[in-house]
Amino acid sequence: VTAPAAPPRPALPAAGTDGASALPGVRRVGGATATPGDSAPVPAAVTPEGEPLLAVGVAPAPTVSALPTVVPGVVVSRGNPGDDSAVRRGGGTTEGRLPTIGDDQTEPAPEVPGPSADTRPLVERFAATPDIATDQQPLGVVLTEDASAETAILALPVPVTVALDPYDPDAPRRAAAYRAAGHEIALQAVNVPALSTPADLATLIDGWHRAFPEAMAILDVPVNGLGANPLLAREFAGMLGSEGYGAIALRDGLDAFLQAARAAGLRAASVYRLIEGGDQSEFTIRRLIDRAAFEALRQPGILIAGSAADRDTMRELTDFALGDGRAGVALAPASAVLSRN
């Protein structure tokens, strides 16, 4: 098999001749040879309007340092209050500080000192204020109460001490009503377990204080009371001292509660006369009150106790307060007597 013959090679132009004219499709531009696919751009004589010029040899941008946040002596105005500008909000003038977006320029409200806490003992803080003339002696009155006696107590013309059962669920409401009427509140020491530990007593007294925050004294009870249990009375009186309660015992002399209260530094007093209604006539009740008033003229600290549920007792006390009692003596709450011991 014989291979086909190669096509003949074109002859090169002779040296010294213009080869560009001899090659087809090649033209001369400004003395230079150019091919159709290799044409050099020809600059326009006039730059068209609106066409940006290309920067040649642009220098790099200078470095800008950050502004300081605090410049001594610089005063910057932040606008006026009420300005709607998003930049100038807050108003006022700040010295030595450049504005910062997001600054809260609201001036803090000046601190107003609150009322100082009353550190007086409860027996003083929540004592009723009697109307006693300078030439009169107080005769303290304590009334044990129940729900049936609320109206009679509120009708008394003078302030007295009202002793409530701390376990009565409605007693806190009545206590608030008595306080609003000008009376003071005591709590009866009922159902205090004889074998109570100090922790038990602390819990008990704290519960009473929460239910009756304005109670000012504790009144002993005649049956299973503190006066017959020296150990319990000593622990109980010690707990009362931390709160500043007053103590009202039912007996004088060897009464354990009275002795423990005085040893603990409490303001304490014993009941001089227990006015028991029921079988006693109005005349007898009047005589008992008058006898106590006579003793009040002779010595300070005389205190009587009675039941607000007894109508005769309440009537005689009202008559005494309205001017039928012994001259020189005024009925008063127990705090007026406790403060003299």
Helix (H) or strand (E) holding 321: none
Looking at the chain, the whole-number percentage of residues with pLDDT higher than 90 is 57
Model confidence pLDDT, tens digit, residues 266-293: 999 999 999 987 778 889 999 999 999 9
Determine the pLDDT at residue 82.
52
Helix (H) or strand (E) holding 171: helix 171-180
pLDDT level of residue 107 (50, 70, 90 thresholds) = low
Q: Does residue 219 surpass a pLDDT of 70?
A: yes
Average pLDDT for residues 211-233, to the nearest whole number? 96
Q: Which residues contact 218 (CB under 8 A, 6 or more apart)?
A: 186, 187, 188, 189, 240, 245, 246, 247, 248
C-alpha 107/C-alpha 93 separation (Å) is 12
C-alpha 323/C-alpha 321 separation (Å) is 6
Determine the pLDDT at residue 88.
47
For 6-72, the three-class secondary structure string (H helix, E strand, C coil) is CCCCCCCCCCCCCHHHHCCCCEEECCEEECHHHCCCCCCCCCCCCCCCCCCCCCCCCCCCCCCCCCC
Q: Which of 64-73, 84-93, 179-188, 283-292 has the lowest mean pLDDT?
A: 84-93
Q: Does residue 27 surpass a pLDDT of 80?
A: no
Instruction: Domains for the chain: give ranges and CATH numbers.
Output: 122-338 (3.20.20.370)
Q: Does residue 96 surpass a pLDDT of 60?
A: no
Return the higher-pLDDT residue of 239 and 276.
239
Q: Is 301 helix (H, G, I), strand (E, B) or coil?
A: coil
Model confidence pLDDT, tens digit, residues 281-338: 889 999 999 999 999 999 988 999 999 999 999 999 999 999 888 999 999 999 999 9
